[in-house]
Amino acid sequence: MFKTLTIIDDDPVYQLIAGKLINKTEIFSHPTFFNSGIDAIEEFKKEENPLPHIILLDINMPYMDGWQFIKKLKQLRPNCKEETNIYIVSSSISERDKHKAEEIEEVIDFISKPLHVERLKAIGKNTNQKINF
């Protein structure tokens, strides 16, 4: 069974590269992309739309950052942790961001960009565990 994956990131170049890497893994069905947390929330508001198995989430986005997205998702879908695994994928090197990610129950791991095929394969095989690389 292929896993569903959503990328929420405002960088179109990153989305393009991530899409190519995701296809190389042969683990995920066709990924969905959102340019903002707001767009993703609007889609996830629709109860008939299941959450993806995995969300790769940028934290530094305009209008709604990754932290705000997680808070809003938890309000919309209180059991989102049982439905999906959220990975922060960011270019941030801030220790504060990494610690904040560790404190949020719904976040499985903090991954520094760039994303690699090996990491995506590990995410696809993973079940709610931090992946050490």
pLDDT in tens, the chain (133 residues): 688 999 999 999 999 999 999 999 888 888 999 999 999 999 999 888 889 999 999 999 999 999 999 999 999 988 777 779 999 999 988 999 999 999 999 999 999 999 999 999 999 887 555 554 4
d(CA 62, CA 37): 9
> What pLDDT sits at residue 133?
41
> What pLDDT sits at residue 31?
92
Token digits for 91?
A: 């270019």
Residue 81 lies in a domain: yes
Residue 127 lies in a domain: no
Residue 74 lies in a domain: yes
Residue 4 lies in a domain: yes
Q: What is the reported pTM?
A: 0.90
Residue 17 lies in a domain: no
User: How many domains are there within the chain?
Assistant: 1
> What pLDDT sits at residue 21?
93
Residue 86 lies in a domain: yes
Residue 80 lies in a domain: yes
Residue 26 lies in a domain: no
Residue 32's DSSP bridge partners are 6
Domain range holding 43?
A: 1-10+35-51+68-92+104-112
